[in-house]
Amino acid sequence: MFLNLKSLKSPVKLVYQLSLDLKANPARVTKAQALTLDQSRPLFGLKGTYGLFGSQEWWDNIVNGKMPRLYLCGDIIEIYKAGLDGDSEDDIQLDFKIMTSDGDVCSESFEANDVNDYSLFKLGAQVHILYVLDPLKDQSPLGNQKNYSNILLEMAVEDIVGSNGIAPDL
């Protein structure tokens, strides 16, 4: 576990771990690594600066702190359904907005290794999110474009009872 949750005052549940997701979806690793190694597609994929996605070298660089991280923490202020153009349930994703202690508002997506944990995403619940920042192949500066991929490493949600808002039915 990378998030330090022991010092928090409220009970928090770790709902997402990338390591568990990759074990359940090994094709994700294979596809990401293939794209990194595909020299015919220089504008797509990860650069491989910290090793191939999901490799032992990659994980070692996370553990030893060499790969940059982004930590977000805030209270859920809105829950909504986001989706593509279709009406299919496969096109719909549950998202939420958090407000950080600095007053910034960030949009994030529900992520959980167990869909039953989606019920923890409630208005007012505090969410802790840890990303690793993995450089993209394409490093050309274009306006506000970021040159790295935010890869969700872990997500934890405060386990509140009697909230005034609940996650939409799945």
Q: What is the pLDDT along the chain (170 residues), one digit of tens a residue?
A: 899 888 888 899 999 999 999 999 999 999 999 999 999 998 899 999 999 999 999 999 999 999 999 999 999 999 998 765 555 555 567 899 999 999 999 999 999 999 999 999 999 999 999 999 999 998 776 655 678 999 999 999 998 864 444 444 43
Query: Does residue 170 form part of some domain?
Result: no
Q: What is the pLDDT of residue 87?
A: 56
DSSP letter (8 states) at residue 63:
H
Query: Does residue 31 form part of some domain?
Result: yes
Query: Does residue 114 form part of some domain?
Result: yes
Q: Is 161 helix (H, G, I), strand (E, B) or coil?
A: coil
* Structural domain boundaries, residue 28: 12-158
In this structure, the number of other CB atoms found within 10 A of the CB of residue 71 comes to 13
Exposure string over 32-64, b if 16+ CB within 10 A, otherwise e: bbeebeeeeeeeebbebebbbbbeeebbebbee
Query: Does residue 116 form part of some domain?
Result: yes
Q: Say how many domains are in the chain.
A: 1
Query: Does residue 43 form part of some domain?
Result: yes
Question: What's the pTM?
Answer: 0.86
Q: DSSP letters of 87-101?
A: -SGGGEEEEEEEEET
Query: Does residue 7 form part of some domain?
Result: no
Query: Does residue 5 form part of some domain?
Result: no
Query: Does residue 20 form part of some domain?
Result: yes
